[in-house]
Chain A
Amino acid sequence: MLLQVDDLRVRYDGADEETLKGVSLQIKAGERLALVGESGSGKSTLARALLGLCPVVGGEVRFQGELLLSAKQPLRNQGYRRAVQMIFQDPYNSLHPRLSVEKNLLEPLKIHQLYQGEKSVEKARALLARVGLDPEAGSRYPHEFSGGQLQRIGIARALLTEPQILLADEPVSALDVSVQAQVLNLLAELSSERRLALLFISHDLAVVRQLCGRVAVMYRGRLVESGAVDDVCFEPAHPYTETLVEATLGHPLKKVARKESAGQGCPFVPRCRKREERCWQELPPLLENTAGRVCACHFPIGTSDRQNV
């Protein structure tokens, strides 16, 4: 197992409740895992926590079996930082505006003390060419590029330290639809050719199905379902996943009257079409119901009562 996250909890300073309420997941080498969920579900927080950018209050993160991050142990391992690179959501803001593209690209190498002068510059130029840009583009500044080009530069920067995992936080949501597909294809190619694991964060299941093999669904800081992409998309077990599938794939679902929750019990209960008395009282545990498939619901959707899909 390349990366193993166990019961990870994050709580920001001054927040009433945890933003991540115990998330566990594993990523194998070369695997592409998607993380989906609505805004505020904690997807980005999870990615940032994996980079040591959030206050972790519980749980642990292991990389290649080695414990690197927990509530008691802030992230200090530079080797891990080099192996886990991130691609950001807003390409316009993810490069230093006063440094040339080449200097931006070389920054990670300098920080990791891997900078080797001409050799590193050559490597940066080769990567620019690999992501589909003119290698001469290095001497220009970020404001001279379009969003799609900037995102390619961001990908090149992430690859420069030869990582094993790429965290991509909604990397195409700020881009034009026509450019989105190109960037996604590039990510898919790079992941295959370098055996690069991908944690792909998105709210768009259609995008996820193109790119990833496995998907994990988050809701309010918890994992509610995970499994193979096609299984989850075509046979969602959790009612929340069902609404998410509906939203992206366009199957209309019966409207559910919202009700206030007392706070205990299942977080999705106010919006759930299958809620029953028990759901208001008791938080459903994340259980494996069929092979390779987990779901946190007292009454998972079975084949008999699946709507429309």
Chain B
Amino acid sequence: MRKTLTTPSGLTGAVLLALLLFLAVFGPLLTPFDFNDQNLDRQFLAPLSRFQDGALHLLGTDNLGRDVFTRLVVGARISFLVGVVAVGLAFVVGVPLGAVAGYFGKRVDSFIMRGMDVLLAFPSILLAIAVVAIFGANLRNAMIAVGVVTIPVFCRITRASVLTVREREYVTAARAQGASHGRLLFLYILPNCLEPLLVQASLSMGTSVLDAAGLSFLGLGAKPPTPEWGTMLGDAFLYYQRAPWCVAAPGAMIFLMVLAFNLFGDSLQDAFDPRSGK
């Protein structure tokens, strides 16, 4: 962890994440507006402009006169939630499946991994659209859809790690004592597979946020007036010439959050890799 923070990119990622997290937690306290306050007198105010009552709209207002900054800040909460729920779902389902496949091998392995191949065969956003189409378009289903799409990633990484770790001599030593499958898998093998999974979790947070925003942009995720970044982007898209800040602001937030998770994940990977020798 300390190694991660000493690299420039790791530090950038961590600082960005900390900033976003701060906004998500305390942001709503920093603005006098509610994210749903509509006021047609205040339509399309440019960033940094003040209304007659002296209230500052840091990032301007949208077509309904809602404060864009306030909506972004509330949207950060949603995006973190999406990332955590989607990755959590993929982790909770993918890791045990991959562990069982790698540990038992043979037919169990073929069965599970062929299933994963089917999931991987679809382009992820298409598969997510299919999931949403079946269960209905709302934020909860979008999170589930993004999570389902991410399952094979965790499954494969876990399987690959289990395959290497189970051949180590300390596992053989426990096996020679007649240790149970559960003990071998949960005490000996899985704790030593965690590092690549943590890296993947960080990287997948980024893609999940992006995918969920994409679904919302297409109208398959969060519905207006939820201040989800993808939804905001989709709404603002109609009048982008009149109010380009309404498009740029949520777009920049998505970009920053994905960048933060990727930088952090990448340097986490470098820190865990003994060959980097730092």
Which residues of chain B come closer than 8 Å to A111, judged between CB atoms?
174, 177-179, 183
A17-25, A90-98, A231-239 - interface stretch = A90-98
Complex contact A96–B179 (CB within 8 A): no
CB-CB contacts below 8 Å: A83-108 with B: 86, 88-90, 93-98, 104, 107-108
Majority SS of interface residues in chain A? loop
Mark out the residues of chain B between 160 and 189 whose CB falls within 8 Å of any chain A CB in the assembled complex: 168-170, 172-179, 183, 187-188
The answer to whether the Cβ of B191 comes within 8 Å of any Cβ in the partner chain is yes
Could you tell me if A97 and B177 are in contact, using CB atoms closer than 8 angstroms?
no
Residue from B169, B177, B187 having most chain A Cβ neighbours under 10 A = B177
A78 touches B178 (CB 8 A): yes
Chain A residues near B188 (CB-CB < 8 A): 96
Q: Kindly state the separation between the CA atoms of A167 and B186 in the bound complex, as whole angstroms.
A: 27
- Say how far A153's CB is from chain B's closest CB, in angstroms: 11
Complex contacts, A53 vs chain B, CB 8 Å: 172, 175-176
With CB as the reference atom, state the residue of chain B lying closest to A107: B174
Complex interface: chain B residues within 8 A of A108 (CB): 177
- A112: interface (CB < 8 Å): yes
Q: How far is the CA of A51 from the CA of B168 in the complex (A)?
A: 16
Q: Which residues of A contact B175 (CB under 8 A)?
A: 53
A52: CB under 8 A from chain B? yes
Please give the distance in Å from A101's CB to the nearest CB on chain B: 12
Which residue on B lies nearest to A75, using beta carbons? Answer: B178
Q: Nearest chain-B residue to A158 (Cβ)?
A: B173
23 contacts between A and B (CB under 8 A): A52-B176, A53-B172, A53-B175, A53-B176, A78-B178, A86-B176, A89-B169, A93-B168, A93-B169, A94-B169, A94-B170, A94-B173, A96-B174, A97-B170, A98-B191, A104-B170, A107-B177, A107-B179, A111-B177, A111-B179, A112-B177, A112-B178, A157-B173
- Chain A contributes a number of interface residues (CB within 8 A of B) equal to 22
Q: Does A86 contact B183, Cβ atoms closer than 8 Å?
A: no
Q: Which residues of chain A have C-beta atoms less than 8 A from B191's C-beta? A: 98
The reply on A273 being an interface residue by CB < 8 A is no
Answer whether residue A81 sits at the interface, using C-beta atoms and an 8 A cutoff. Answer: yes
User: What A residues does B173 contact at CB under 8 A?
Assistant: 86, 88, 94, 157
Q: Which of B180-234 contact A (CB under 8 A)?
A: 183, 187-188, 191-192
9 additional A-B pairs beyond A51-B176, A81-B176, beta carbons within 8 Å, are A48-B172, A53-B172, A53-B175, A53-B176, A88-B172, A104-B170, A111-B177, A111-B179, A157-B173
The 5 residue pairs across chains A and B that have the minimum distance between CB atoms: A51-B176, A94-B169, A111-B177, A93-B169, A88-B169
